[in-house]
Amino acid sequence: MWPDRRLLDLFKTEHPIVLAPMAGVMDAELVIAVAEGGGLGSLPCAMLTAEKAREQVNIIRQRVAAPINMNFFCHEAVEPDPAREAGWRQRLTPYYQELGLDPATPVTAANRAPFDAAMCAVVEELKPEVISFHFGLPEPALLKRVKATGALVLASATVVREAVWLEQNGADIIIAQGADAGGHRGMFLTDKLAEQVGTFALVPQVVDAVKIPVIAAGGIADGRGIAAAFALGASGVQIGSAFLRCPESKVSAQARAALAQASDESTVITNVMTGRLARGVANRVMREVGPISPDAPAFPHAATALGPLKTAAEKLGKVDFTNLWAGQALPLGRELPAAELTRKLAHDAQARLRLMAG
Ligand SMILES: Cc1cc2nc3c(=O)[nH]c(=O)nc-3n(C[C@H](O)[C@H](O)[C@H](O)COP(=O)(O)O)c2cc1C
């Protein structure tokens, strides 16, 4: 009873609902629950070692017979720039002082590595049915190896130009990520924040520009949003924020409380947390230093100097320096077990689509 069956045929899932991969706030548990609800579970691997990714996939395989999407970042790795790092530390020094920390203490570098040959070998070994990339695609030789495993390749586009590029360069399915979306913007051919397109405007324009199926992402959090995405020509949806408050997510109690209090006006797009543009609930450092700061080092190095502040503040019960990635539809999310939420989303969307069909 879905108006477009292209994704169901490709993924072999019951519903064309993809759980967004959400690095840092989820693991196999949420993937399994969404798969049990009939959706496609996505495992965010951008912050995992090869061993951890293997362990997580094995847990999922043991618990459900369902396709898996492994998700990776493919940004261009940039070496830390000592002068910028020092300037950033200086900008954050008042917070270090407030928390009784020494800004000169060496800190562990932020861990978000791009997809590389070692991860590609893990993919060849584990053979996930689906692979999704954020920030473009890996270099052609790596992409060729990924495609040789038989995996379907998904990638995010934030403007029509990126969608066309992804189709021409080997993606099988486009994720059209509107500016309403939580988390990092998948931008890779543009860095112009003011020109980022909302989901409602982006999805139909991407659908018109490419031949491959399009998944709508950003601000979709209930049956109405899913039905709207289909009306705009999408073949499915990718949903993140609506699942954040499910018991299976790994969102901390403090962050959960901040997310629960958020309204439609609570999120902003910032570069201060990691050096790349991302949408989240505004925390203290985003408000006071950002939301956009020219001082933030390149991705992911801005996160390095924030690490000790985050740890120290969290010990005091504060989320002043914690990533609270979430999209504009966050308040529509429900605190339900994720399998139940997935079924409810599918049910409500189908009911609305039936109404629309008259
Ligand atoms: C907490 C959080 C973390 C995210 N992490 C990732 C990630 O690791 N990889 C990725 O491709 N997208 C990531 N995203 C973006 C999602 O793929 C997707 O575009 C977004 O969740 C859709 O918007 P919504 O949050 O309004 O549903 C993240 C989003 C959130 C909310």
**Whether the CB of 41 sits within 6 Å of ligand 1:** no
**Whether the CB of 42 sits within 6 Å of ligand 1:** no
Taking phi first (over 0 means left), then psi (-120 to 50 degrees means alpha), and beta for anything else, what does residue 28 get?
A: alpha
Residue to substitute in 173, 174, 273, 325 for testing ligand 1 pocket (most ligand atoms within 8 angstroms of CB): 325
Residue 105: its pLDDT value, please? 82
Residue to substitute in 73, 75, 184 for testing ligand 1 pocket (most ligand atoms within 8 angstroms of CB): 184
Residue 204 and residue 228: Cα distance in Å, rounded? 11
Atom of ligand 1 nearest to the CA of 133: 11
- Number of Cβ within 10 Å of residue 162's Cβ equals 22
State phi, psi for 186 to the nearest 5 degrees: -75, 10
Strands 267-270 and 278-281: antiparallel
The stretch 55-65 carries a mean pLDDT of: 98
The answer to whether residue 72 scores a pLDDT higher than 80 is yes
> Could you tell me the distance, in angstroms and rounded to a whole number, from the CA of residue 22 to the centre of ligand 1?
5
Residue nearest to atom 30 of ligand 1 (CA): 183
Atom of ligand 1 nearest to the CA of 23: 8
Residue 66: its pLDDT value, please? 98
Burial group, residue 97, by CB count within 10 angstroms (0-12, 13-18, 19+): exposed
Amino acid code (one letter) for 189: L
**Whether the CB of 28 sits within 6 Å of ligand 1:** no
**What tokens appear for 15 in the block?**
């519903």
Residue 241 and residue 180: Cα distance in Å, rounded? 11
The answer to whether residue 106 scores a pLDDT higher than 80 is no
Residue 81 and residue 261: Cα distance in Å, rounded? 37
The stretch 1-5 carries a mean pLDDT of: 93
> Could you tell me the distance, in angstroms and rounded to a whole number, from the CA of residue 323 to the centre of ligand 1?
12
Amino acid code (one letter) for 52: K
Question: Helix (H, G, I), strand (E, B), or coil: what is residue 214?
Answer: strand
**Whether the CB of 312 sits within 6 Å of ligand 1:** no
- Number of Cβ within 10 Å of residue 339's Cβ equals 19
The answer to whether residue 12 scores a pLDDT higher than 90 is yes
Residue 284: its pLDDT value, please? 98
- pTM for the model stands at 0.97
The answer to whether residue 86 scores a pLDDT higher than 90 is yes
Residue 1: its pLDDT value, please? 87
pLDDT tens sequence across 258-283: 999 999 999 999 999 999 999 999 99
Helices (H), 127-198: 140-148, 160-168
**Whether the CB of 30 sits within 6 Å of ligand 1:** no
Indicate the pLDDT class of residue 246, thresholds 50, 70 and 90. Answer: very high
Indicate the pLDDT class of residue 112, thresholds 50, 70 and 90. Answer: confident
Share of the chain above pLDDT 90, in %: 94
Cα–Cα distance list, 75 to 59, 179, 330, 357 (Å): 28, 19, 26, 42
> Could you tell me the distance, in angstroms and rounded to a whole number, from the CA of residue 231 to the centre of ligand 1?
22
Indicate the pLDDT class of residue 113, thresholds 50, 70 and 90. Answer: confident
The stretch 200-211 carries a mean pLDDT of: 98
Sheet containing 68-73, strands listed edge to edge, beginning at the edge strand earlier in sequence: 17-19, 236-239, 214-217, 173-177, 152-157, 130-134, 68-73, 41-44
Helices (H), the chain: 6-11, 28-36, 50-63, 82-98, 117-126, 140-148, 160-168, 199-209, 223-231, 253-261, 284-289, 302-315, 338-357
Residue nearest to atom 4 of ligand 1 (CA): 22
**Whether the CB of 220 sits within 6 Å of ligand 1:** yes
Average pLDDT, rounded, for the chain: 96
> Within a 13 Å sphere around the CA of 80, how many CA atoms are in the beta-carbon half?
21
The answer to whether residue 108 scores a pLDDT higher than 90 is no
Indicate the pLDDT class of residue 110, thresholds 50, 70 and 90. Answer: confident
Share of the chain above pLDDT 70, in %: 100
Beta-bridged to residue 42, according to DSSP, are 69
Question: Helix (H, G, I), strand (E, B), or coil: what is residue 138?
Answer: coil
| Domain boundaries, given as residue ranges, for the chain | 6-77+113-261+330-357, 81-111+263-325
Which superfamily, per CATH, for 6-77+113-261+330-357? Aldolase class I (3.20.20.70)
pLDDT tens sequence across 289-314: 999 999 999 999 999 999 999 999 99
Indicate the pLDDT class of residue 222, thresholds 50, 70 and 90. Answer: very high
Residue 135 and residue 162: Cα distance in Å, rounded? 10
Residue 171 and residue 292: Cα distance in Å, rounded? 31
Residue nearest to atom 15 of ligand 1 (CA): 183
Residue the block writes with tokens 């109404």: 355
Q: How is residue 332 annotated by DSSP? A: G
- Number of Cβ within 10 Å of residue 304's Cβ equals 21
Residue nearest to atom 11 of ligand 1 (CA): 134
* Residues, the chain: 358
**Whether the CB of 92 sits within 6 Å of ligand 1:** no
The answer to whether residue 331 scores a pLDDT higher than 90 is yes
Max intra-chain CA distance, the chain? 66
**Whether the CB of 280 sits within 6 Å of ligand 1:** no
Residue 109: its pLDDT value, please? 76
**Whether the CB of 21 sits within 6 Å of ligand 1:** yes
Residue the block writes with tokens 């990714």: 53
